[in-house]
Amino acid sequence: MTDATAMVTPNSRLPAGSLRELVHVAFPLVISAGSVSLMNIVDRSFLTLLSVDALAASMPASMLSWTLMSIPFGLAGYTNAFVSQYEGAGKPDRVAGAMWQGLLVALLGGILLLPLIPLSPQIFRWMGHSPDVQKLEVAYFSCLCPVAVPMLVSTVLSSFFTARNRSSVVMWVNLVAAVLNALLDWLLIFGKAGFPMLGIRGAALATLISTGVGTVLFVIVLTSEVRHHGYPFRATFGLDVELLRRMLRYGIPNGIQMLLDVGAFTAFIALIGRLGTREQAATNLAFTLNSLAFVPMLGLGTAVMTLVGKRVGEGFPDLASKTVYTAFYLSGGYMLIFALIYLSLPELILSPFLHGDEKEVFDEIRPIVIVLLRFVAVYTFFDAMAIVFGSAVRGAGDTHFSLVFTVGSSWLLMVLPTLWIIRHDGGLYACWAACSAFIMWLGVGFFLRFLQGHWKSMRVIEHTEAEAPIDHHLS
């Protein structure tokens, strides 16, 4: 067996573990995730033109949708770890089999969410927001919930490309979807070019249509790739009980973690709404601006998970460690730049949002958001730690620790303190201090778990007899 540093990835012919390989995989994924962030920003920017109530309603409704979709999304997203490790182990038949099982989970998970729509009025009533905001929350959620089906399917389909260093496909599909979403937002929210004026429902419908178009594009490109590269999708079509069981074993903790983690933020946002519509709108804006930094780094996290999975599948965990630290240096620097922007240019980045007809209300929100951005600037570097090191250990299969640590921390350090603060007539900034403490603790915890090195001996795919690491040499 040759030195691992001589390896090159089979598709890109880039040195394994190098900065070039990481950038090759991560850059399109960062752009893809950034396009998702852009979709949210465009939605919120247009909704501010409707009313402060529409802005306030958008985030609780979308967060509830994400919460309910979390378990199937966590399962569908973990398809990436299986496909990456099978690709690294040189098993195209298992790559195809894992894709089919992931698609089965995605379809069932998305369909099973639809009966929950009638329950949304009671859920938003329980949140205790103002009646006008509640009506908008129900309307937005009811139209947004069906997005789960194409979104989950797209998540599975995209793993086929990221695992094979073809993440540029994911980038272009998501960019097309983002541009289409922005156009449909303008047409459907405000009723332009002969389209009906649907208000907040139009924003959700635009997301549904653009996500569906993205799914169709993934199917078209995947069909062409399979035809040219010989992955046996036809031969492996159907239920593989053993493989599905293995995927559920590792994916369910990932899904439960996502459910309780996203649920914690949903609870946090719902509790903030009890302070008042202005506080809720300001929090929504602060998190939306935070997504400029946070969401693109999720693309880097996907790249880390992909490359760690491949290196573990190939038998070179030390090479994976090199990639993880490189990703951390990149993400940490990126986050620090945004921290400076949040501190020094808050008025500039707020300008696209605070331009609605309710000028007096927006003038009251502006100074609140500026203070909240200072909290974001403090914790944003720790966000980078949580994303990179958390993705690394999950990519190797350390999902049970991730579940217990993330869920326990989010509820004990953020949700319960926020509930206590509100019940004792505390203010918005005290609630945000609890949220910031949680995120900082999360980053440190995942870093320490990564340093322990347990992930190096983990795998999510089955072991075979006399299995040895696979070398890919320069030809």
- DSSP string over 343-391: HH-HHHHHTTTS-SS-HHHHHHHHHHHHHHHHHHHHHHHHHHHHHHHHH
Q: Do 243 and 98 form a contact (C-beta atoms < 8 A)?
A: yes
Q: Which residue has the tokens 């605070």?
A: 354
Q: Do 95 and 166 form a contact (C-beta atoms < 8 A)?
A: no
Q: Do 74 and 112 form a contact (C-beta atoms < 8 A)?
A: no
Range 350-381 burial, b when 16+ CB lie within 10 A, else e: beebbebebeebbeebbebbbebbbbbbbbbb
pLDDT at 469: 42
| Beta pairing partners, 8 | 15
- List pLDDT tens digits, range 187-245: 999 999 989 999 889 999 999 999 999 999 999 999 888 877 778 888 888 888 888 88
Q: Which of 36, 56, 1 is nearest to 278 (CA)?
A: 56
The CA angle 278-283-285, to the nearest 5 degrees, is 95
Q: Do 372 and 283 form a contact (C-beta atoms < 8 A)?
A: yes
- List pLDDT tens digits, range 429-465: 999 999 999 999 999 999 999 999 888 887 666 654 3
Q: Which of 394, 391, 411 is nearest to 331 (CA)?
A: 391
Cα torsion 222, 226, 229, 235: sign: positive
pLDDT at 465: 39
Q: Do 407 and 257 form a contact (C-beta atoms < 8 A)?
A: yes
Enter the tokens of residue 379: 């914790």
Q: Which residue has the tokens 């449909």?
A: 184
pLDDT at 466: 37
pLDDT at 462: 61
Dihedral, 257, 259, 264, 269 alpha carbons, nearest 10 = 150
* pTM of the complete model: 0.74
Enter the tokens of residue 176: 């097309």
pLDDT at 100: 93
pLDDT at 345: 92
The CA angle 72-376-349, to the nearest 5 degrees, is 100
Give the start-to-end residue ranges of the domains of the chain: 14-457
Regions of the chain where pLDDT drops below 70: 1-13, 354-359, 459-475
Q: Do 141 and 184 form a contact (C-beta atoms < 8 A)?
A: no
End-to-end CA distance of the chain, in Å? 16
Q: Do 34 and 295 form a contact (C-beta atoms < 8 A)?
A: yes
Phi, psi of 346 (to 5 degrees): -65, -40
Enter the tokens of residue 282: 């300001």
Q: Do 11 and 165 form a contact (C-beta atoms < 8 A)?
A: yes
3-state class of 15 per DSSP? strand
- Distance set, CA 7 to CA 165, 305, 318, 395 (Å): 15, 19, 13, 20
